[in-house]
Amino acid sequence: MIRSATLTRHPSLATVTDHSRLRLFSGSANTVLAQEVARYLGIDLGPMIRKRFADGELYIQIQESIRGCDVYLIQPSCYPVNDHLMELLIVIDACRRASARQITAVIPYYGYARADRKTAGRESITAKLVANLITEAGATRILAMDLHSAQIQGYFDIPFDHVYASPVILDYLASKELHDIVVVSPDVGGVARARAFAKKLNDAPLAIIDKRRQAHNVAEVLNVIGDVKGKTAVLVDDMIDTGGTITEGARLLRQEGARQVYACATHAVFSPPAIQRLSSGVFEEVIVTNTIPVPEDKQFEQLTVLSVANLLGETIWRVHEDSSVSSMFR
């Protein structure tokens, strides 16, 4: 089920006579989300020529003057990750060469984030590499949502606004009027995220799934730390990739006596065989947001997609007006 955002023009824009310095552009990764953000802000997406040469090289040209403007580029680095990341870099470079005053890369989903430190010899820290590429291309500010690891903010030497999709998901859960909720972290690394989520969910109790990962995208679930018997378990994670971890966690929660199991994640990466796993009947509902587009062939009966367009639009407006962003999440 796709839930459309309630897209209303930002109230401040009705009284502003000149906001021509605010320009919004979109890459090709998630144009629907970008259009929703533009509607919330009450402006149009900037015109851009995007084409490929015969060998696959990408050509970008901005089709209006942005000299002295504050430019916001919406482009998640989702599948195909390399193509969309390269497109982001090229658009940033085009805006820099067009004399934009400020260039904010709005990255709803920050790819290459899982390699954020060295866990073995001779590994690349791709999260830092991508940060260097974006900065060197000419971005002057970053706006990202629900990073896989919060420390990635420190990889940038430019201002970084980290926003969270939790208000959107929490509002939806509140509308369902669930009872006896226990918030569950699918691994030890996600405890801080789950604890913050539980606090905002009327201080719901917390449980943790003890997991040992044997290889990338392969996890062995061991046991549940906490009481879930007879409760509504809400699994909270930043992303769902192949769905192995969260599905095995849900099965374990069922075995431990959980009455219902819901999965909540910001980023619907959904690499195969995620759809088969998530639609196998272990979840009452799988709740994600549209930071990454979810095509029709990746939708299933238990899926609910919530829009973060208003949240991103409000953040962009506050950044543009030099207002507080953190106050949105208090």
* Residues designated as active site: 211
Contact 92, 131 (CB under 8 A): no
Task: Give the residue from 298, 259, 313 showing the smallest Cα distance to 34.
Answer: 313
At position 10, the amino acid (one-letter code) is H
Task: Give the residue from 275, 327, 321, 307 showing the smallest Cα distance to 33.
Answer: 307
DSSP state of 13: G
Quote the CA–CA distance of 118 and 280 in Å, as a whole number.
35
Neighbouring residues of 114: CB distance < 8 A, sequence distance ≥ 6: 127, 148
Pairing of strands 303-306, 285-289: parallel
- Extract the runs of DSSP E, i.e. beta strands, from 101-205: 102-107, 141-145, 160-163, 181-185
Distances (CA, A) of 23 to 37, 243, 254, 319: 12, 37, 49, 13
Task: Give the residue from 122, 112, 123 showing the smallest Cα distance to 147.
Answer: 112
Quickly count: other Cβ atoms within 10 Å of residue 218's Cβ: 10
Rg (CA), the chain: 20
Quote the CA–CA distance of 174 and 166 in Å, as a whole number.
12
